[in-house]
């Protein structure tokens, strides 16, 4: 599979159900990962999740490279 879609509920989403999509695509230097987190309740939540996902993906990249 090239796409993983799941719901995400946490204190950070004010216990509201949100949708996370992770897509993997072949790229000339390996692969490209795109993460989309939708249906977040407000701008503050979007900002916190962008920062959090960014940190997680940087750690993942560090282990894979």
- Is 80 exceeded by the pLDDT of residue 1? no
Q: What is the pLDDT of residue 62?
A: 93
Task: Give the domain extent around 23.
Answer: 3-64
**Residue range 44-63, pLDDT digits in tens:** 999 999 999 999 999 999 99
Residue environment code for 20-50, b if the CB has 16+ CB neighbours within 10 A, otherwise e? beeeeeeeeeeeeeeeebeebeeeebeeebe
pLDDT tens for each residue of 2-48: 999 999 999 989 999 999 999 999 988 888 999 999 999 999 999 99
As for how many domains the chain has, the answer is 1
Give the pTM.
Answer: 0.87
**pLDDT the model gives residue 60:** 94
């Amino acid at each position: 599979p090239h796409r993983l879609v799941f719901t995400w509920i946490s204190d950070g989403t004010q216990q509201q159900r949100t949708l996370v999509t992770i897509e993997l695509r072949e790229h000339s230097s390996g692969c490209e990962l795109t993460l989309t987190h939708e249906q977040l309740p407000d701008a503050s939540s979007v900002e916190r999740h962008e920062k959090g996902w960014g940190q997680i993906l940087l750690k993942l990249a560090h282990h894979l490279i």
